Amino acid sequence: KRMTMAQAIKKVAGVDVAGWKSVAAAKKAVTLTMKGDPALSELDSMDSIGEVMAFVFESLVEEKLIEPTIIYDYPVEVSPLAKKCADPRFTERFEGFVLGSELGNNYSELNDPVDLSERFAAEKKKAAAGFAEAHQTDADYLEAIEYGMPPSCGFGIGVDRMAMLVTGASNIKEVILFPTLRPKEKD
């Protein structure tokens, strides 16, 4: 199967993100859809429709993608290193899913230094607000982009993703090799 993220959200969760005209409207729709879900507290830190859209996808859709599925057109707010599509709200990015798990991530590398600098600034704000997955500004990478980088892309699929499928792990941190990256066990 092949679907945009918006199509997958509508098909699997019954939420039409096309009707969201503001962040407030998006949050209200999600709150009604996920009424009582403890994960709703995460909405407080989101300040874009794209972030809310990705939250709904991760919360309600991902685990239901059993058949091999390609999801594409990810929001620009959650794809800081990917080129924008013709519709500037989305990026040239896709992820493969099977049995409710992400297998890999692919995107066209952003090679516009001005756009990249703006996105790094946005990521820095997210990090300051406590978002653990925010990308750190990579000054060397940005400088390399300024000198010129040809169009490129790649598909990242790792042994860790395969280990997740084989072991039934729900989080990639459960199967990674380096324990310093793994969450500490509670006593």
DSSP line for 41-77 = GGGGG--SHHHHHHHHIIIIIGGG--S-EEEEEEEGG
CA 2 to CA 117: how far, in whole Å? 31
CA 54 to CA 142: how far, in whole Å? 26
- Print pLDDT tens along the chain (187 aa): 999 999 999 999 999 999 899 999 999 999 988 888 888 888 888 889 999 999 999 999 999 999 999 999 999 999 988 999 999 999 999 999 988 888 888 999 989 999 989 988 888 888 887 777 778 888 888 888 898 888 888 777 778 878 888 888 877 788 887 655 555 666 5
pTM of the model: 0.81
In terms of phi and psi (left: phi > 0; alpha: psi -120 to 50; beta: otherwise), the region of 109 is beta
Residues 13 and 56 sit within 8 Å (Cβ to Cβ): yes
